[in-house]
């Protein structure tokens, strides 16, 4: 990884550990008889384990979460042809290709580095986009590979899921614990159950929005056709709203080129993607400038 990607990953690990330590302190203080040292120790140990797992296996976790299957050229000739051309244009090694068994039209990239990258597309996007539009989408994903975003975003999605799990553990541990201040414990548990997932989403916001704009730009420049991606984004926005993904983990939505989950209630306030209108506007402006 480059220095910037390494720093961002390290910051994610630090924030993850601090959030886990805070949850452990609250759990020890209010659900373990005031033994906050034990609570912090347990959750810091969990944080270390999760950091290691995220670093070495985040890509495998992501692929398994979305039931993605690595496919050969014989199984997916269209995808292999487009990605191979993009690989040659960008000077990147040919990544592995995977298909997600979902009718929701979408795509993402994951992997530890450009030599171990995987570009995944849903079955839905293959049926939904033209070759030109699909090339724009896959160029966007190859830009993420080129910029070393894939490791950071894969780690962020894995850690966000872990933080949400830890907050739920705290909630249920406090809910069923004894003690004289049961009502207070439940209130604190509810606060943590709400704020910890928000903290996880904020982690993703820190690494995804600016990277999406950059990947849009670099992907469009890679193929020299910004409108191919702009048209694809417009169709994908409508397609994902009409047919959101019905499996997987919303904490990993930042990996996808378009949010595949329906954003309702509080979740809509913490979108991991930039406004679609702004993304399309930037691409249209880029296309206008390239005509002269």
- Binding positions for Zn(2+): 140, 144, 212
Residue 290 CA to residue 292 CA, distance in Å, equals 5
Residue 58 CA to residue 157 CA, distance in Å, equals 8
Is 141 assigned a catalytic role? Answer: yes
Q: Please report the DSSP string for 101-150 in residue order.
A: --SS--EEEEESSGGGEEEEEEHHHHHHS-HHHHHHHHHHHHHHHHTTHH
Enumerate residues 6+ apart whose C-beta is below 8 A from 46. 20, 24, 166
For the annotated binding site, the residues are: 140, 144, 212
> What is the distance in angstroms between the CA of the first residue and the CA of the last residue of the chain?
37
SS3 call for 72: coil
Cβ neighbourhood burial of 196 (10 Å; 0-12, 13-18, 19+): buried
What distances in angstroms separate CA 266 from CA 52, 201, 207, 259, 262, one per listed residue? 31, 11, 20, 15, 12
Q: Beta partners for 96? A: 118
Asked if residue 160 lies in contact with residue 201, where contact means CB atoms within 8 angstroms, the answer is yes
DSSP H stretches of helix in the chain: 3-31, 36-65, 77-90, 123-128, 131-146, 149-175, 182-223, 226-242, 276-290
Handedness of CA 260, 263, 266, 269 (dihedral sign): positive
Q: Which of 141, 218, 237, 284 is catalytic?
A: 141
Catalytic positions are 141
């Amino acid at each position: 990884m480059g220095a910037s990607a390494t720093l961002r990953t390290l910051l994610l690990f630090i924030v993850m550990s601090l959030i886990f330590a805070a949850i452990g302190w609250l759990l020890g203080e209010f659900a373990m008889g005031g033994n906050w040292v034990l609570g912090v120790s347990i959750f810091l140990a969990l944080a270390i384990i999760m950091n290691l797992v995220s670093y070495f296996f985040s890509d495998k976790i992501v692929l398994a979460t979305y039931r993605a299957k690595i496919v050969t050229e014989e199984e997916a000739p269209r995808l292999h042809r487009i990605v191979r051309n993009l690989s040659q244009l960008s000077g990147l090694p040919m990544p592995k290709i995977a298909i997600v068994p979902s009718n929701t039209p979408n795509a993402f990239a994951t992997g530890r580095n450009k030599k171990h990258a995987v570009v995944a597309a849903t079955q839905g996007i293959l049926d939904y986009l033209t070759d030109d539009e699909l090339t724009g989408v896959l160029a966007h994903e190859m830009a993420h590979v080129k910029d070393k975003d894939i490791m950071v975003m894969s780690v962020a999605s894995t850690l966000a899921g872990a933080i949400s799990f830890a907050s739920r553990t705290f909630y249920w541990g406090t809910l069923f614990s004894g003690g004289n201040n049961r009502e207070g414990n439940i209130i604190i548990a509810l606060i943590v159950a709400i704020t910890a997932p928000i903290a996880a989403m904020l982690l993703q916001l820190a690494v995804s929005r600016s990277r999406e704009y950059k990947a849009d730009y670099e992907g469009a420049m890679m193929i020299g056709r910004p409108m191919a991606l702009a048209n694809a984004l417009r169709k994908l926005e409508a397609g994902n709203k009409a047919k959101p993904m019905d499996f997987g983990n919303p904490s990993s939505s930042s990996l996808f080129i378009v949010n595949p989950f329906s954003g309702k209630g509080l979740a809509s306030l913490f979108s991991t993607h930039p406004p679609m209108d702004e993304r399309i506007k930037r691409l249209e402006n880029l296309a206008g400038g390239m005509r002269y």
